[in-house]
Amino acid sequence: MTSARRRGRPAPLRWGGLLAVAGLLVAGIGAGVQFGRDQAGASPTPGPSASPSARPGGPKALLTPPSESPAEKPDQPSASSSAGTRKGTPATTSARPGRPTRISLPQLGITAPVVGIKAVNGQLIPPADATKVGWWSGGAQPGAARGSAVITGHTVHNGGGAFDDLDQLRPGTTVTVTTARGTLRYQVTSVTTYRKRSLAAHAGELFDQQVKGRLVLVTCEDWNGQVYLSNVVVVARPMA
């Protein structure tokens, strides 16, 4: 999957859908701007606002999202038979919430700086440097008792993006987030691939700020040589 992603022209990062979070309507990347990259660190290049052709329909779930309450599962994706057994049970963390400065995904050998990002003209845009990831400062902080802490990063088709292999995470694996107040550990509970148009229908549940505190990671997927057709969304719960 990774090799196929990295062939072709520069990858436009496009996050389809609308994020209705905390009363703020945040248009997903791709709703107005594309970001093409020849290599990691290249400056973003604005492009057309049209979304790529994508067939409507439900998300393709690699793993089934956990069930906490009816409010969190209005449209559960189908489960893969290869989900496997989870390691332990996520629990509410006792660490204080704080602004994230670094994220580590040991299973993928990834450690990336985290910078705060804001909605600009209704769009949530990751850092221009593809080796960094962006935390939406208008949402929950990691470690907060409630809300989705949203972190988004680039996938670069020819390599160098912080979240190039995000789709390879599996449930039970650990994600570590460093803040100015300490280190938080999360356990991955779901990895789901959404077609661009499908993501909009699930944005309310994925980026909900009323749920129990959790981490949500987002990047692009399914490079077709010109555009990305899908988004990968990883949900992780705090570990005790």
**20-31 pLDDT tens trace:** 333 333 333 333
What pLDDT is attached to residue 122?
65
Asked which of 89-93, 118-122, 166-170 is least confident by mean pLDDT, the reply is 89-93
Amino acid at 81: S
- 80 has a pLDDT exceeding 50: no
- 63 has a pLDDT exceeding 60: no
Q: pLDDT tens digit string along 88-101?
A: 444 444 568 999 99
Query: Please, which residues bridge with residue 103 across strands?
Result: 112, 177
What pLDDT is attached to residue 178?
97
Q: Is the pTM of this model over 0.75?
A: no
- 117 has a pLDDT exceeding 90: yes
Matching CATH number, 95-239, of 3.40.190.10, 3.40.50.300, 3.40.190.150, 2.40.260.10: 2.40.260.10
- 140 has a pLDDT exceeding 60: yes
**Per-position DSSP letters for the chain, written without gaps between them:** -HHHHTSSSPPPP---SEEEETTEEEEPTTSS-----SSTTPPP-----PPPP---S--EESSPPP-S-GGG-TTPPPPPTT----SS------SPP--EEEEEEGGGTEEEEEEEE-EETTEE---SSTTSEEEETTSPPTT-SBSEEEEEE---TTS--TTTTGGG--TT-EEEEEETTEEEEEEEEEEEEEEHHHHHHHHHHHT-SSSBSEEEEEEEEEE-SS-EEEEEEEEEEE--
Neighbouring CB atoms inside 10 A of 66's CB total 17
What are 150's two structure tokens?
A: 């949203």
- Which are the catalytic amino acids? 154, 220
Residue with more model confidence, 1 or 28: 1
What pLDDT is attached to residue 150?
95
What are 152's two structure tokens?
A: 């988004």
Opening angle at CA 205, ends 23 and 18, nearest 5: 55
To the nearest 10°, the Cα dihedral for 208, 130, 173, 60?
60
Mean pLDDT of the chain: 69
